[in-house]
Amino acid sequence: MGNEQPTDRMTTEDGPTLLEERSIGGILVHFIAIPTGVVGAGLVYLLATNAFTKRNARNALDWHLTVLALTVVTFGSVFTYGELTGQGATDVDALPTIVSVQSSVEAAAGLVVSVLLTVWFGVTFLTFVVGFIAMLKATFGTAWRYPLSPTLVDRYGGRLDGTDRWPLVIIGYVLAFPVVMSGVFLGPFGGPGFFFITFGLLGLILVGVPLTAVAIYRHGERDRSPTADWQPHVIAYLGVPILVAAVSRELSRSFTDSINPGGDAMYVFLAALWIAATVYVGRWRMVERQTA
């Protein structure tokens, strides 16, 4: 009985501390990252201010970055194999005649692609398993590292630290938007170029937009000193594009014959965010020159 009292006291004292250290974000980030992958885990990591949330988001992000790399390698190999063997989905017919693939090499390449696909499907299923395990561990106060995932965030994440890095993200969107949009509206509309433009548009929407929004928020508000010469109205830079897109959707639905008003609104939003990001960068550079 004498040994039970210290244990009970420790449990009683540590319980409230554990509850304070845990956070809803640190628990739910693993669940959020299952369908959203790098984007969801990355946004939580970049926006988190709670240490427990940030540790869990880091672990989830390490895993999903690894899965993303495997996905790129796997489907890049599938695409390349299909084109080189004349089974591709594009209109390119010259590759099989230009590249002479011996049957043994073709068989070996097919085996590699099959193995990669098998591993990818296995890892995709494992993502659900380890995600729920990590969420359960976080519920009990542990920031559990996913198995076999390298420490990518700790190794390279520091390059985004500091307010001087965030404008580079915004500039990246400013430069990428016209390139992607020119491909969307001017072509190519077939062949490998079409696939690159499609993936570029998806990347702009799923990665470029969230990162740009986070960069404007972090650089313009959260990481900015209250005594800085320039205090940008972040809510305007981020809110106006959303408002413009909402209005354009209603106008498209009410006054045009568009079959996809939501798609029209998405393009308007991307353009409005590009204008806002361009204005933000221009204003930031002007202030930097004035204070230099």
Residues 181 and 93 reside in one and the same domain: no
Task: Over range 72-80, report the average pLDDT.
Answer: 85
Domain boundary among 120, 154, 188: 154
Residues 177 and 134 reside in one and the same domain: no
Residues 120 and 179 reside in one and the same domain: no
Residues 168 and 265 reside in one and the same domain: yes
d(CA 184, CA 198): 8
Structure tokens at 63: 């895993």
Q: 32 Cβ partners below 8 Å, 6+ apart?
A: 40, 41, 44
Please check the confidence at residue 133 and state whether its pLDDT lies above 90. yes
Beta-carbon count within 10 A of 154 CB: 10
Which whole-number Å values give the CA distances from 270 to 200, 221, 241, 252, 274, in the listed order?
13, 22, 8, 16, 6
Residues 131 and 274 reside in one and the same domain: no
Residues 47 and 129 reside in one and the same domain: yes
Domain boundary among 125, 154, 183: 154
The range of the structural domain enclosing residue 143 comes to 1-154
Q: How confident is the model at residue 3 (pLDDT cuts 50, 70, 90)?
A: very low
Domain boundary among 123, 154, 185: 154
Residues 26 and 139 reside in one and the same domain: yes
Dihedral angle at the C-alpha atoms of 61, 167, 213, 182, nearest 10 degrees?
Answer: -100
Query: How many domains are there within the chain?
Result: 2
Task: Over range 7-19, report the average pLDDT.
Answer: 42
Residues 184 and 262 reside in one and the same domain: yes
Residue predicted with more confidence, 224 or 178: 178
Structure tokens at 220: 């313009």
Alpha-carbon Rg for the chain, nearest whole angstrom, is 24
Residues 172 and 117 reside in one and the same domain: no
Task: Over range 123-140, report the average pLDDT.
Answer: 94
Q: How confident is the model at residue 75 (pLDDT cuts 50, 70, 90)?
A: confident
Residues 11 and 115 reside in one and the same domain: yes
d(CA 251, CA 247): 6
Residues 204 and 289 reside in one and the same domain: yes
Task: Over range 252-277, report the average pLDDT.
Answer: 93
pLDDT in tens, 33-69: 999 999 999 999 988 889 999 999 999 999 999 999 9
Residues 51 and 142 reside in one and the same domain: yes
Task: Over range 125-150, report the average pLDDT.
Answer: 93
Q: How confident is the model at residue 103 (pLDDT cuts 50, 70, 90)?
A: low
pLDDT in tens, 156-211: 876 655 556 789 999 999 999 999 999 999 888 877 778 888 889 999 999 999 99
